[in-house]
């Protein structure tokens, strides 16, 4: 596999390594991503993929979990052993354990096949932004996102949470735990965070299995920030996996 | 006989067909039959064999005794000889026929001389399989090998004692009539007596030196003529029987054929030594009449206390009857004659054969005569009375029931009887001042009653006699002498003795009846206990376990139950259950069990097949075939089983066989049902898959081809429309496949719940996330109270339920109609309802909606695989919840169009403890460090 010759892109959005054994999927992804300014390297096997990660470190890896020569989870772990490059995992499997496994193994995000291109590109951007923020050593202090005419505003530096609805700003009062939960989500905005990850970060390593804490505080948080907590717009649930605060 | 004599008995036709069928696979048996040794049977057999060998038939000599005759030896030259088996018996090496070698060689025709031969008894070492050569030959025939054999008339079982009477020589080696009757061909080798004697004189008949004198007395013209007549007559009978059979077989409908309804003859069996004679006589009668023979024994209370040798004789007689081809029956009742006659009526028996009892007239009056009873009650049935031998009658009289004890009371009992008399006397002496002499008589009679109930009849009789003596000696004046002064006392003695004897007899009979009833009761209840448990057994393992346990308890034996399986070639046995020590069931036992299975016959200890092994093997026969084999080894293996035990054993085996058959059929039925259901689902799935998967594919293919062909020529809106169509249909396809995979996983049970505490709101929110766009076009509400308890459920599966229910509502109701989700809690459950205002479920179809591939009648908008609700039900049931449909579920209570699907999930308690936090500050801008 060699780097696909790039058409002269208007801007270089970065180098993506695509490790995927299905040629049709590779073909359409390469075309789509190239059209959005990415350079794409392809690998059909885990072995080749790992080699390419070492030879020409990419800015992001798209990894299929169902490779013929190795388990995708192992590949993720091997890459993570020496590189922090963002990894987005593709899986045809609908099993939640696989998704959780991939995330726990160090993947940044996952997509279930079939997926829309818009979704993929959004995930790529979130993952890269996050990676860049870590590289830069400082995160963005203000999170601001709009859904259905409502804006959620979180200012981490000032510890200020507010909802802006038709130009009217309402301050949201949070308990310390609710705030820590929201803070964690904001720091990884756009990414899915597993239940275990959130429990570890907010409640500490001894509470990794107390899912009920997370459920109750997530529900409380939704009641404070969502218009209809039963149809959340900001804080969504990934069933069986975890939570995602949209970016 | 109830049958119309002009019509073929269907049973007989069936039996004929069965025999024909069995024989087509069996080898054919040809018997060279003669009146006496030396008539040339072996020679005739060998010439026939030579003829066939020249024609190219594969003829092998299994065993032929030439007795050194050169002409016979010469006949052997052209034939293939099977090596013999050497058997060491009492220090002598005997040359025996090698059955295994013959089976292995498997010739077309095998020559085995002397059908009546008894094999040398083999120990564990080189013994043959069977006691008798005819059994070897049976085995050969079954294996499909045709056999030529020879037989003399005196070896035929039913003629055995007639010949003993004629010749004065009792022949020990006999062949059951049934064996000869089954022969396909009988060739009589006849030689006039004079010619035979001539041959004798010229040394052409083999005669061992040791028995020369006996043989000489045997070979007399008178004897030989009688034997010749017998053999000619018997052959004529066989030929007649064969002709009849052929006529029966060829008799077409309407043809005036001679159809004899089969006559049935019943012979009454007793433990008497003359009983075998009566059975043989009955067999001769039956053979002459071509009748079916039944040998019956009535187990009366008196028979329960039968002595061991009587019991053994009875078993032997019954076995003899069986070997003569009779059906054996054991009846049970207190009145033997009544029992026999009523059984005879029930079986349409036309003739009853009984033995003449040798009781003298007065004794007959006293105890009643069995023969008279039978004759009085028999009505239209003929009764044949056959005499027994005088010396046997004397023996029989010894065991006569009246005067001598048949219960074998020990000396201890007689000693106790004497003590009773002493006690009565002491009491009498002590109380003589107060009591009249008559009352003292009462005292002694009381003693008789006590002795009769406690000690048996013998001691009671003893008490009666001693009591009279003691009364005379101690109480009748003059006292302390046996002399009597008042003659009246003689009457007292007489009455006292008679009353005492009567009491002894009656009490004893009562006791016997009671104990017989008790034994019967025990057997019946043992059988009942087992059959009740068998009735509730659901599968083979159950049945087997119940069976071996009960067999073990009832017979005090180690039990193994094997059932038959159809393997590649033959039926094989596998052990279903064992009880007691399983060690005894080795390969040898397994072989016997296999034999019993293959031949559907009892084998092993106490039977005629393979009697040298320790266990008894009973085939489990049902009308549907042999279900398996029951093998048991009684712990008291040296004592033979009593007829009652054998009867009970057979009843047990019957029950077990039927139960086994029942569960086998049941399992087969269930498997067939499951298979049919699976087949139905498969075809439904196939048609559903092809339809539901192809519809979106058709849209996608259509849109893409049109874009490929004329894409550039299209305007932007058209192109966009096509592309949107592709997108939505692809999503639908994905959903369908997801549902299919999911349903399969639910079915195969590979879904494991990963339960966690979660909120209803979360479940609903997650379930709705993928439907957001479609819901935005509808009036849609979610009503959830804030204080619902937490649920411990699988957080990945339950959102799927909400998704499917809402998706279902979206698909089956018109746009613009509202959809509403409501949740509430009761004491035990959380209930969630998804309601729409569509056409509702057809009345009566509410439950079917959850069945796979159900599609509502109003489902015009799009289609799905009808799997959505099935999956919902699977998930809810896995959580121990319930899901159902309701029509008309609006809040106003008015009948409005619309359907609801409602599910309830149990609330688990205790609920997890949560600490409650208050918001830290009113003004979040002040930071978390501040307080209220």
User: Is the Cβ of B438 closer than 8 Å to some Cβ of chain A?
Assistant: no
Residue A178 with chain B: CB contacts under 8 Å = 917
Residue A231 with chain B: CB contacts under 8 Å = 765, 768, 772, 782
Confidence of residue B764 (pLDDT cuts 50, 70, 90): very high
Residue B762 with chain A: CB contacts under 8 Å = 215, 218-219, 237
How far is A152 from chain B, CA to nearest CA, in Å? Answer: 14
Question: How many percent of chain B have pLDDT more than 90?
Answer: 4
- DSSP summary character for residue B642: P
C-alpha–C-alpha distance, residues B324 and B159, integer Å: 11
Region for residue A69 given its phi and psi (left: phi exceeds 0; alpha: psi -120 to 50; beta: otherwise): alpha
Question: How many percent of chain A have pLDDT more than 90?
Answer: 36
C-alpha–C-alpha distance, residues A219 and A229, integer Å: 7
- Which whole number is the average pLDDT over B596-604? 83
Residue B741 with chain A: CB contacts under 8 Å = 94
Tokens of B298: 């009535």
Cβ of A231 within 8 Å of Cβ of B800? The answer is: no
Higher local confidence (pLDDT), B855 or B322: B322
Cβ of A211 within 8 Å of Cβ of B758? The answer is: yes
Which residues fall within 8 angstroms of residue B208, CB to CB, at 6 or more apart? none
pLDDT of residue B896: 55
Q: What digits encode the pLDDT tens for the residues B655-686? A: 888 888 888 888 888 788 777 777 776 776 67
> Residues of B numbered 754-773 whose beta carbons fall under 8 angstroms of chain A's beta carbons: which are they?
754, 756-759, 761-762, 764-769, 772
User: Is the Cβ of B842 closer than 8 Å to some Cβ of chain A?
Assistant: no
How far is A194 from chain B, CA to nearest CA, in Å? Answer: 13
Q: Closest residue of B to A148, CA-based?
A: B776
Question: How many percent of chain B have pLDDT more than 70?
Answer: 81
> What is the DSSP secondary-structure string of B369-436?
-HHHHHHHHHTTSEEEEE---HHHHHHHHHT-TTTS-SS---HHHHHHHHHHHHHHHHHHHHHTTTS-
Cβ of A159 within 8 Å of Cβ of B928? The answer is: yes
Confidence of residue B833 (pLDDT cuts 50, 70, 90): very high
Cα angle A37, A41, A43; round to 5: 145
C-alpha–C-alpha distance, residues B208 and B765, integer Å: 108
Q: What digits encode the pLDDT tens for the residues B221-239? A: 778 888 888 888 888 777 7
pLDDT of residue B144: 85
Of the candidate ranges A227-241, B174-188, B394-408, B551-565, the one whose mean pLDDT is the lowest: B394-408
pLDDT at B167 over 50: yes
Higher local confidence (pLDDT), B718 or B634: B718
Higher local confidence (pLDDT), B401 or B359: B359
- Which whole number is the average pLDDT over B531-556? 84
pLDDT at B23 over 70: no
Report the Cα–Cα distance between both ends of chain B, in Å, rounded. Answer: 112
Of the candidate ranges A102-116, B71-85, B404-418, the one whose mean pLDDT is the lowest: B404-418
Higher local confidence (pLDDT), B97 or A140: B97
Residue A239 with chain B: CB contacts under 8 Å = 766-767, 795-796, 799-800
Cβ of B765 within 8 Å of Cβ of A218? The answer is: no
Which residues fall within 8 angstroms of residue B572, CB to CB, at 6 or more apart? B564, B565, B594
User: Is the Cβ of A174 closer than 8 Å to some Cβ of chain B?
Assistant: yes
Alpha-carbon distances, residue B210 vs A7, A64, B164, B214 (angstroms): 122, 100, 20, 9
C-alpha–C-alpha distance, residues B792 and B445, integer Å: 85
pLDDT of residue A244: 92
- The CB density around residue A176, as the number of other CB atoms within 10 Å, is 14
Higher local confidence (pLDDT), B926 or B802: B802
Most confident option among B64-68, B90-94, B307-311, B475-479? B475-479
User: Is the Cβ of A239 closer than 8 Å to some Cβ of chain B?
Assistant: yes
Q: What digits encode the pLDDT tens for the residues B322-333? A: 777 787 777 777
Any idea which residue has 């026999």 for tokens?
B340
Cβ of A237 within 8 Å of Cβ of B919? The answer is: no
User: Is the Cβ of A57 closer than 8 Å to some Cβ of chain B?
Assistant: no
Cβ of A230 within 8 Å of Cβ of B784? The answer is: yes
User: Is the Cβ of B484 closer than 8 Å to some Cβ of chain A?
Assistant: no
User: Is the Cβ of B139 closer than 8 Å to some Cβ of chain A?
Assistant: no
- In B13-118, DSSP assigns E strands to 29-34, 59-63, 80-81, 85-89, 92-96, 109-112
Confidence of residue B313 (pLDDT cuts 50, 70, 90): confident
Cβ of A159 within 8 Å of Cβ of B923? The answer is: no
C-alpha–C-alpha distance, residues B458 and B529, integer Å: 37
pLDDT at B406 over 60: no
User: Is the Cβ of B741 closer than 8 Å to some Cβ of chain A?
Assistant: yes
Residue A174 with chain B: CB contacts under 8 Å = 919-920, 924
pLDDT of residue B574: 82
Q: Which of B754, B784, B914 sits opposite A212 (nearest CB)?
A: B914
Q: Which of B757, B772, B786 sits opposite A212 (nearest CB)?
A: B757
Tell me the whole-structure pTM to 2 decimals: 0.46
- Which whole number is the average pLDDT over B46-50? 88
pLDDT at A160 over 50: yes
**Radius of gyration of chain B from its Cα atoms, rounded to whole angstroms:** 45
Cβ of A218 within 8 Å of Cβ of B762? The answer is: yes
3-state class (DSSP) for residue B760: helix
User: Is the Cβ of A161 closer than 8 Å to some Cβ of chain B?
Assistant: yes
C-alpha–C-alpha distance, residues B798 and B361, integer Å: 97
Q: In what order do the strands lie in the sheet with A242-245?
A: A192-194, A242-245, A235-238
pLDDT of residue A152: 92
Any idea which residue has 């030896």 for tokens?
B73
CB A87, CB A106: distance < 8 Å: yes
pLDDT at B302 over 70: no
CB B790, CB B757: distance < 8 Å: yes
C-alpha–C-alpha distance, residues A202 and A182, integer Å: 9
How far is B698 from chain A, CA to nearest CA, in Å? Answer: 19
Residue B796 with chain A: CB contacts under 8 Å = 96, 239-241
> What is the DSSP secondary-structure string of A177-226?
HHHHHHHHHHHTTTSEEEHHHHHHHHH-GGGTT-HHHHHHHHHHHHHHH-
Most confident option among A143-157, B166-180, B358-372? A143-157
C-alpha–C-alpha distance, residues A247 and A146, integer Å: 9
pLDDT of residue B842: 65
User: Is the Cβ of A213 closer than 8 Å to some Cβ of chain B?
Assistant: yes
Confidence of residue B247 (pLDDT cuts 50, 70, 90): low
CB B830, CB B903: distance < 8 Å: no
> What is the DSSP secondary-structure string of B665-715?
HHHHHHHHHHHHHHHHHHHHHHHHHHHHHHHHHHHHHHHHHHHHHHTTTS-
Q: At what angle do helices A117-136 and A23-35 cross, to 10 degrees?
A: 70
Confidence of residue B754 (pLDDT cuts 50, 70, 90): confident
pLDDT at B411 over 60: yes
C-alpha–C-alpha distance, residues B382 and B282, integer Å: 13
Q: What digits encode the pLDDT tens for the residues A34-85? A: 888 899 999 999 999 999 999 999 999 999 988 888 888 889 999 998 888 9
Which residues fall within 8 angstroms of residue B765, CB to CB, at 6 or more apart? A222, A229, A230, A231, A232, A236, A237
C-alpha–C-alpha distance, residues A8 and A34, integer Å: 10
pLDDT at A201 over 70: yes
Cβ of B782 within 8 Å of Cβ of A231? The answer is: yes
- Which whole number is the average pLDDT over B805-825? 87
Tokens of B655: 């029950």
User: Is the Cβ of B921 closer than 8 Å to some Cβ of chain A?
Assistant: yes
Of the candidate ranges A5-14, B119-128, B255-264, B699-708, the one whose mean pLDDT is the lowest: B255-264
Confidence of residue B930 (pLDDT cuts 50, 70, 90): very low
Q: What is the ipTM of this complex?
A: 0.84
3-state class (DSSP) for residue B907: coil
Q: Which of B741, B800, B928 sits opposite A176 (nearest CB)?
A: B928
- Which whole number is the average pLDDT over B533-540? 81
Report the Cα–Cα distance between both ends of chain A, in Å, rounded. Answer: 34
Burial of residue B373, with CB atoms counted within 10 A of its CB: 0-12 exposed, 13-18 middle, 19 or more buried: middle
How far is B812 from chain A, CA to nearest CA, in Å? Answer: 22
CA of residue A29 relative to chain centroid, distance: 18
How far is A55 from chain B, CA to nearest CA, in Å? Answer: 37
Q: Closest residue of B to A212, CA-based?
A: B757
Q: At what angle do helices A211-225 and B760-768 cross, to 10 degrees?
A: 70
User: Is the Cβ of B931 closer than 8 Å to some Cβ of chain A?
Assistant: no
Dihedral of CA B584/B586/B590/B591: which sign?
Answer: negative
User: Is the Cβ of B932 closer than 8 Å to some Cβ of chain A?
Assistant: no
- Which whole number is the average pLDDT over B702-726? 86
Cβ of B730 within 8 Å of Cβ of A175? The answer is: no
Cβ of A230 within 8 Å of Cβ of B765? The answer is: yes
User: Is the Cβ of A94 closer than 8 Å to some Cβ of chain B?
Assistant: yes
pLDDT of residue B256: 34
Mean pLDDT, chain B, whole residue set: 78
Mutate to test the interface with B, among A147, A212, A242 (most CBs of B within 10 A): A212
Confidence of residue B866 (pLDDT cuts 50, 70, 90): low
Most confident option among A172-181, B84-93, B882-891? A172-181
- Which whole number is the average pLDDT over B335-364? 76
Cβ of A215 within 8 Å of Cβ of B757? The answer is: yes
Higher local confidence (pLDDT), B259 or B787: B787
User: Is the Cβ of A152 closer than 8 Å to some Cβ of chain B?
Assistant: no
Cβ of A230 within 8 Å of Cβ of B764? The answer is: yes
């Amino acid at each position: 596999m060699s780097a696909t010759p790039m058409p002269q892109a208007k801007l270089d959005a970065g180098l993506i390594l695509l490790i995927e054994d299905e040629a049709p999927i590779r073909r359409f992804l390469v075309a789509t991503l190239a059209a959005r300014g990415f350079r794409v390297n392809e690998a059909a096997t885990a072995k080749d993929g790992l080699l390419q990660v070492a030879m020409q470190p990419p800015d992001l890896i798209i990894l299929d979990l169902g490779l013929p020569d190795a388990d995708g989870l192992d590949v993720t772990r091997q890459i993570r052993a020496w590189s922090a490059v963002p990894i987005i995992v593709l899986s045809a499997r609908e099993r939640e354990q696989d998704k959780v496994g991939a995330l726990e193994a160090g993947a940044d995000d996952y997509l279930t096949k079939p997926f829309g291109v818009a979704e993929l590109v959004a995930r790529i951007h979130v993952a890269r932004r996050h990676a860049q923020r870590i590289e830069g050593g400082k995160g963005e202090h203000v999170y601001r996102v709009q859904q259905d005419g409502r804006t959620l505003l979180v200012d981490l530096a000032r510890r200020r949470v507010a909802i802006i609805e038709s130009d009217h700003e309402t301050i949201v009062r949070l308990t310390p735990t609710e705030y820590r939960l929201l803070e964690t989500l904001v720091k990884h905005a756009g990414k899915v965070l597993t239940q275990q990850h959130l429990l570890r970060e907010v409640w500490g390593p001894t509470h990794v299995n107390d899912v009920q804490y997370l459920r109750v505080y997530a529900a409380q948080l939704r009641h404070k920030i969502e218009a209809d907590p039963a149809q959340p717009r900001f804080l969504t649930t990934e069933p069986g996996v975890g939570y995602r605060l949209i970016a | 006989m109830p049958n119309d004599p002009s019509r073929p008995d269907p049973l007989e036709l069936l039996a004929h067909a069965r025999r024909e069928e069995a024989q087509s696979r069996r080898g054919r048996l040809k018997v060279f039959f003669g009146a006496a040794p030396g008539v040339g049977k072996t020679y005739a057999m060998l010439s026939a064999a030579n003829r066939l060998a020249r024609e190219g038939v594969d003829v092998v000599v299994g065993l032929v005794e030439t007795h050194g005759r050169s002409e016979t030896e010469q006949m052997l030259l052209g034939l293939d000889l099977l090596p013999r088996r050497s058997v060491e018996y009492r220090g002598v090496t005997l040359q025996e026929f090698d059955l295994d070698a013959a089976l292995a060689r498997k010739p077309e025709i095998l020559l085995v001389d002397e059908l009546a031969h008894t094999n040398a008894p083999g120990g564990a070492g080189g013994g043959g399989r069977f006691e008798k050569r005819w059994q070897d030959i049976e085995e050969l025939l079954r294996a499909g090998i045709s056999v030529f054999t020879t037989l003399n008339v005196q070896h035929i079982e039913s003629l055995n004692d007639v010949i003993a009477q004629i010749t004065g020589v009792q022949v020990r080696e006999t062949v059951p009539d049934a064996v000869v009757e089954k022969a396909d061909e009988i060739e009589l080798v006849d030689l006039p007596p004079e010619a035979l004697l001539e041959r004798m004189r010229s040394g052409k008949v083999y005669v061992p030196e040791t028995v020369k004198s006996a043989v000489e007395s045997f070979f007399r013209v008178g004897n030989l003529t009688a034997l010749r007549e017998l053999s000619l007559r018997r052959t004529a009978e066989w030929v007649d029987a064969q002709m009849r059979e052929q006529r029966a077989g060829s008799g077409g409908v309407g043809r005036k054929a001679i159809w004899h309804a089969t006559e049935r003859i019943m012979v009454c069996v007793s433990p008497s030594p003359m009983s075998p004679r009566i059975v043989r006589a009955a067999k001769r009668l039956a053979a002459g009449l071509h009748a079916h023979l039944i040998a019956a024994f009535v187990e009366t209370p008196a028979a329960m206390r039968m002595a061991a040798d009587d019991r053994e004789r009875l078993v032997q007689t019954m076995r003899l009857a069986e070997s003569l081809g009779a059906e054996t029956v054991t009846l049970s009742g207190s009145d033997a004659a009544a029992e026999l006659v009523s059984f005879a009526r029930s079986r349409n028996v036309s003739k009853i054969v009984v033995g003449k009892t040798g009781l003298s007239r007065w004794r007959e009056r006293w105890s009643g005569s069995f023969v008279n009873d039978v004759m009085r009650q028999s009505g239209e049935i003929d009764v044949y009375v056959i005499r027994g031998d005088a010396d046997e009658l004397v023996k029989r009289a010894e065991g006569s029931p009246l005067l001598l004890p048949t219960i074998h009371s020990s000396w201890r009992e007689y000693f106790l009887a004497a003590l009773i008399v002493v006690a009565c006397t002491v009491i009498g002496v002590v109380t003589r001042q107060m009591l009249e002499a008559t009352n003292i008589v009462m005292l002694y009679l009381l003693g008789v009653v006590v002795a009769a109930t406690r000690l048996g009849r013998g001691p009671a009789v003893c008490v009666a006699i001693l009591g009279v003596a003691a009364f005379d000696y101690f109480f009748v004046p003059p006292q302390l002498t046996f002399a009597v002064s008042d003659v009246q006392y003689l009457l007292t003695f007489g009455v006292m003795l008679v009353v005492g004897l009567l009491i002894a007899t009656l009490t004893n009979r009562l006791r016997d009846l009671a104990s017989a009833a008790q034994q019967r009761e025990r057997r019946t209840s043992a059988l009942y206990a087992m059959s009740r448990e068998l009735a509730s057994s659901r599968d083979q393992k159950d049945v087997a376990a119940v069976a071996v346990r009960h067999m073990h308890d009832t017979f005090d034996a180690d039990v193994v139950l094997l059932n038959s399986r159809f393997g590649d070639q033959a039926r094989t046995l596998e052990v279903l259950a064992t009880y007691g020590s399983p060690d005894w069931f080795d390969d040898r036992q397994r072989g016997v069990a296999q034999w019993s299975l293959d031949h559907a016959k009892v084998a092993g200890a106490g039977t005629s097949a393979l009697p040298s092994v320790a266990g008894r093997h009973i085939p489990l026969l049902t009308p549907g075939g042999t279900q398996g084999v029951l093998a048991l080894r009684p712990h008291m293996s040296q004592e033979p089983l009593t007829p009652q035990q054998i009867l009970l054993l057979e009843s047990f085996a019957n029950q077990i066989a039927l139960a086994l058959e029942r569960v086998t059929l049941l399992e087969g039925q269930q498997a067939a049902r499951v298979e049919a259901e699976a087949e139905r689902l498969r075809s439904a799935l196939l048609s559903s898959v092809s339809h539901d998967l192809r519809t979106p594919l058709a849209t996608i293919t259509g849109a893409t081809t049109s874009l490929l062909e004329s894409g550039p020529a299209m305007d932007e809106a058209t192109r966009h429309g096509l592309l949107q169509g592709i997108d939505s249909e692809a999503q639908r396809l994905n959903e369908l496949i997801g549902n299919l995979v999911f349903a399969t996983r639910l079915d195969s049970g590979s879904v494991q719940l990963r339960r966690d505490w979660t909120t209803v709101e979360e479940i609903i929110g997650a379930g709705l996330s993928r439907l957001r766009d479609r819901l935005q076009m509808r009036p849609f509400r979610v009503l959830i109270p804030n204080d619902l308890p937490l649920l411990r459920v699988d957080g990945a599966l339950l959102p799927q339920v909400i998704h499917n229910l809402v998706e279902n509502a979206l698909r089956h109701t018109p746009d613009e109609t509202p959809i509403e989700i409501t949740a509430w809690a009761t004491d035990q459950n959380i209930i969630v309802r998804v309601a729409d205002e569509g056409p509702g479920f057809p009345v009566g179809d509410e439950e079917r909606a959850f069945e796979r591939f159900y599609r509502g009648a109003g489902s015009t908008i799009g289609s799905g695989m009808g799997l959505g609700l099935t999956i919902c039900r699977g998930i809810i049931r896995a959580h121990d919840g319930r899901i159902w449909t309701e029509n008309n579920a609006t809040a106003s209570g008015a009948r409005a169009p619309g359907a609801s699907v409602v599910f309830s999930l149990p609330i688990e308690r205790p609920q997890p403890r949560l600490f409650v936090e208050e918001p830290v500050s009113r003004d979040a801008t002040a930071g978390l460090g501040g307080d209220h």
